Amino acid sequence: MSRIGNNPIAIPEGVTIDIQSDVITVKGKLGELSQPYDSVAIKEEEGNLVVSRPSESKDHKAKHGLYRALVFNMVEGVSKGFTIELELVGVGYRASTQGQKLDLALGFSHNIVLEIASEVKVEAISEKGKNPIVKLTSYDKQLVGAVAAKIRGFRKPEPYKGKGVRFVGEQVRRKAGKSA
C-alpha cells in the first residue's frame, strides 16, 4: 500500500490541469510544467487529482507514489513556487549576480562564473558581519534543486572548520582536529 500515492492532490485556484493519455500538463500563475507518465491512471475528481495504479505489481506500486509526488510538486510549484537558500561560510567567500550570471569567489585562484537557467531567479544577499547568501527561486522543484546542488558541489562544507557552501539551516558534523 502506497501511503503517498493514495493521498489526493488538492488543486488550488488559478491552476489548470490538462491530462492526456501519457502526459500531464499543469499551468499556473508562475509557469507551466508537463510530465510524461506511465503505469498509473490520473483522474480529476471534485477539485482533487487522484493517482491510482492498475495492479499490485512491484513496478506499479513503485511508480504510484513517484508520479503522485511529481504531480504534487508541479501543482505546488506553479501556484507557490520553491525557494532554496545557500550560505557561503568562509573568509573571503563572496557571491554577486549580474542578470542570470552568478559570480562566486570560493577561495580558488579564479572566480567561478555560473550561467543560471532562465526559469530560476537568482539573488545574492550580502550583509556586513553575516555570511553571503545565494537565494534561488523557481516554479520547477527539480531544476532549482539541481542548480543548488551544482553550486554546493563547488565547495562542500568540510568537517574541521565548517567552511564551504551549505544550505541555510544545514547542520555540518564537526570533527576534532589533531590536538584532540
Q: Does domain 3-79 have CATH number 3.90.930.12?
A: yes
Low-confidence ranges of the chain (pLDDT < 50): none
Residue 170 grid coordinates: 544545514
What pLDDT, on the 0 to 100 scale, is given for residue 178? 84
Residue-averaged pLDDT of the chain: 93
Q: State the pTM of this model.
A: 0.90
What pLDDT, on the 0 to 100 scale, is given for residue 2? 62
Q: How many CB atoms lie within 10 A of CB 106?
A: 18
CA 78 remoteness from chain centre: 13
Q: Which residues contact 142 (CB under 8 A, 6 or more apart)?
A: 73
Q: Give domain 82-167's CATH number out of 3.30.360.10, 3.40.50.1000, 3.40.630.30, 3.90.930.12.
A: 3.90.930.12
What pLDDT, on the 0 to 100 scale, is given for residue 177? 84
As a 3-state breakdown, the chain gives helix, strand, coil percent values, each rounded to 5, of: 20, 35, 45
For 9-137, where are the alpha helices, taking DSSP H only? Answer: 58-79
Same fold, 3-79 and 82-167: yes
As a whole number of angstroms, the distance between CA 11 and CA 107 comes to 46
Question: Does residue 170 contact residue 156 with C-beta atoms inside 8 Å?
Answer: no
What pLDDT, on the 0 to 100 scale, is given for residue 99? 92
Domain locations in the chain? 3-79, 82-167
